Each structure stands twice: as structure tokens, then as C-alpha cells.
Amino acid sequence: MTSSPLPFLSIILLCSALISFLPKGIEARGFPISSLISEKLYNQIFLHKDDNACPAKGFYPYESFIQATRCFPRFGSTGNLTTRKREIAAFLGQISHETTGGWATAPDGPYAWGLCFKEEVSPQSDYCDPQNKEWPCYPGKSYKGRGPIQLSWNYNYGPAGKALGFDGLRTPEVVANNSVIAFKTALWFWMTEQKPKPSCHDVMIGRYVPTKADLAANRTAGYGLVTNIINGGLECGRPGDNRVSDRVGYFQRYAALFNVDTGPNLDCANQKSF
């Protein structure tokens, strides 16, 4: 996952305090995710995440996903039932591509291998942007891709940690060591507006209003725009890009499992990146 620097949002998420008030083992009112995606469906979606072939074996349990969503009550709870399910399917489709262990002839198909990795293998750099003074890199730390969304760069780790209550610059490795925090970083990125980019959440629930620049760049609402937000600089405006096709394939499989349609504009082949 790559993106332009994120502005800090003045949002304080008191997740730990919030969760402490929830009935143990019961989905509290206002946090309906478990009513839309049961543990059985979750395991059906991620058929091979706990295979020995996956480096992240055991790292992404259903309980961690549900616990993380409690910090983001608008996720999967906005709009009608179809919209809510489609957003969850879109989120899971994107994180599956980011963490895929699948291949063309993989057992159960290439789109049954999401959440296979928890951190980038053989990163090409430490993903430190020294020009970013707001979120300065800590000596010796790598800001490589970690977690379901493969959070990358110091300018993402810094504000994510600030919002979620951990030191993203000094201890970025926690994203690959704590599954709840890992899911929280992915949801934080999904829900956070990154001007001039909208949030992925707003796109999938129909709240995105294109600017004149968006219209000129053919940035139309749909799953393809979410891909543009996440990694448009490398993947969009390139007809036939295999990475985009992989993201779409995951989404199509998951939408079918949720019994919803995908909506229009699945790819970003004709979109300019932000």
C-alpha cells in the first residue's frame, strides 16, 4: 500500500476504554459487524489463511477483526443492508490482495488465499521519507508494509499510531506483532480522508462527490476508485494491470459470498491517479 502523506485528523479513538464496556462475547448494540459476517463466513472467505504455507498463520483470527471494528462504528453500518455488506466485501477484497498468498492454479482458486502475509517480504527500502518533518523517521526503524492493508511509510505510521494509541514511528513493528492493532491500522486507512482523496468508506457508501479535478481525471465512484486511493500511482491508468485484476477478483468472490452485487466501475484502468 502506498499513498501520499496523510494530514493528521484530530480524532481521538478511545478504543480500549470503549471495548472495556462491551459485554464479553456479545456484540454490543451499534457494532453490527458480526451480524453481517459470522465467524463461519469469515473462515469461508479466508480459506487458507492458517495454512502452513502462509507466513501469517494464526495471526488474523476472526475475534481480532471484530474487536478492531468496534473502534470504527461507521464501518459496515452506513446505508442499506446491501451497501453495508458491499463495503465489508470491498474492504476484505482489498486487504486480501495486499496480503495474498494465492497463485493462478492455487487450491480453491487464487482468491481463496487472502491474509496469508502480515508483513512485506524483502522490502526494497525502509520506506522513510526524510522530507516529511511532521512524522520524522526514528533511527534504525523500517516503515515497510505491515498488517492487512500493508501500511507503509513514516507519514502513514505516524498518524495511524497517533490516532490508535501506539507509537507508530518508534515501534512500527507492533503492526506485525499485534493482530488487533494490525486490523485497526487497515480500518483507520479505510475510514480516513486523505485530501484530495476521499476515504474508501465514503466511496463505497455513496458519499463521494467528485471535484472538477476528479471529473477531468475520470475518477468515477466504485471499487476502482478505492484501488486508486490505495495504490493508484502504481496501478491506475494502466489497462490490463494484473494487480488491479487481482483486487477485482477477490471482491467479486466476496460479494458473491455476501450475496450482493459489486456495483459499477470495478477497475481504474482509465482513471488518473491522485
Active site residues: 98
User: According to the 3-state scheme, what is the secondary structure of the chain?
Assistant: CCCCCCCCCCCCCCHHHHHHCCCCCCCCCCCCHHHHCCHHHHHHHCCCCCCCCCCCCCCCCHHHHHHHHCCCCCCCCCCCHHHHHHHHHHHHHHHHHHCCCCCCCCCCCHHHCCCCCCECCCCCCCCCCCCCCCCCCCCCCCCCCECCCCECCHHHHHHHHHHHCCCCCCCHHHHHCCHHHHHHHHHHHHHCCECCECCHHHHHCCCCCCCHHHHHCCCCCCHHHHHHHHHHHHHCCCCCCHHHHHHHHHHHHHHHHCCCCCCCCCCCCCCCCC
